[in-house]
A and B are shown apart, each in its own frame.
Chain A
Amino acid sequence: MTAPAFVPYLLHTLFPPNTHRPTEIGADVMMGLGMGYLVYWLTRHRKWGWLWRDWLTTVDHKKIGTMYLIAAILMLFRGGVDALMMRVNLAMPHAPFIGPEEYNEVFTTHGVIMIFFMAMPFIFALFNAVIPLMIGARDVAFPRLNAVSFWLFAFAAALFNLAFVVGGAPNVGWTAYPPLTELHFNPGVGTNYLLVSLLISGIGTTITGINFLVTVLRMRAPGMTLMRMPMFAWAALNTSVLILFAFPPLTVALLMTLLDRLAHTAFFTLSHGGMPMMYVNLFWLFGHPEVYIVALPAYGVFSEVVPTFSGKRLFGYTSMVVSMAAIMVLSYGVWAHHFFTMGAGAAVNAFFGISTMLIAIPTGVKIFNWIFTMWGGRIRFTTAMLYVMGFIPTFTIGGATGMFLATVPADYQVHNSYFLVAHFHNVLIGGTVFGLLAGMYYWWPKMFGYRLDERQGKLAFWLFLIGFWITFGPQYLLGFKGMPRRMWTYPAGHGWHLLNVISTAGAFVMGAGFLVLVYNVLWSMRHGERDASGDPWNGRTLEWSLPSPAPEYNFARIPTVSSLDAWWAMKQTGQGRGRGAAALRLRPQDIHAIELPRNTGYPFFLGAAFFVLGFGLVFSWWVIALLGLAGVWAALAYAWFDHDQHKHMRADEIRRIEASMGRLPA
Chain B
Amino acid sequence: MIEISGISKSFGDKVVLDDISCNMESGKVNLIIGSSGSGKTVLIKCIVGLVQADQGEIKYDGVDFVNMEDKDRKELRTKIGMLFQGSALFDSLTVEQNVMFPLDMFTKKSVTEKMHRVNEVLDRVNLKDTNKKFPAELSGGMKKRVALARAIVLNPKYLFCDEPNSGLDPQTSLVIDRLIIEITKEYNITTIMNTHDMNTVMESGDHIVYLYKGKKQWEGSNQDIIYNKDPYLNDFIFASEFLREAKNTRMKHRDTAEK
Partners in one complex: no
